[in-house]
Amino acid sequence: MRCVLSGKQAALFYAEHEGKPFYGRLTSFMTSGPIDCYVLAREDAVHKWRALMGPTKSMVAQFSNPESFRGRFGISDTRNATHGSGESSCLIYQNVRLYKRKMG
């Protein structure tokens, strides 16, 4: 699903980071244009996706895992190309927040 996050949606989605130095840059970037959202479904999906993404910090990814999504496409710590939930419970919560409008 391609969508554009509103400021309110970005604030809800990244609420865990509110008050951190990068929060304003992150929410500003995430509302600056369309994003593609996917729900991955497979056994051990969170672990597999995190391995494909690579390290959170793009510079680290470029050297330690250059074939990862963040190693290939990340340009800064804020603009690191991908997002992935840390655990299944976060994934479900984040999906509900993003897809709520589409599901009714």
Looking at 83, 85, 91, 97, which residue is catalytic? 83
The dihedral of CA 85, 1, 101, 45: what is its sign?
Answer: negative
We report the CATH number of the domain holding residue 62 as: 3.30.70.141
Q: What is the pLDDT of residue 37?
A: 82
Q: Would you call 83 a catalytic residue per the annotation?
A: yes
Nearest residue to 51 via CA among 61, 38, 42: 61
Average pLDDT over residues 70-81: 94
Asked whether the predicted pLDDT for residue 12 surpasses 90, the reply is: no
How far apart (Å, rounded) are the C-alpha atoms in residues 25 and 15?
A: 14
Q: What is the pLDDT of residue 1?
A: 81
What's the total number of domains in the chain?
1
Residue 11's domain spans which residues?
2-103
Give 14-46 pLDDT, tens digit per residue: 888 999 999 999 999 999 999 988 878 889 888
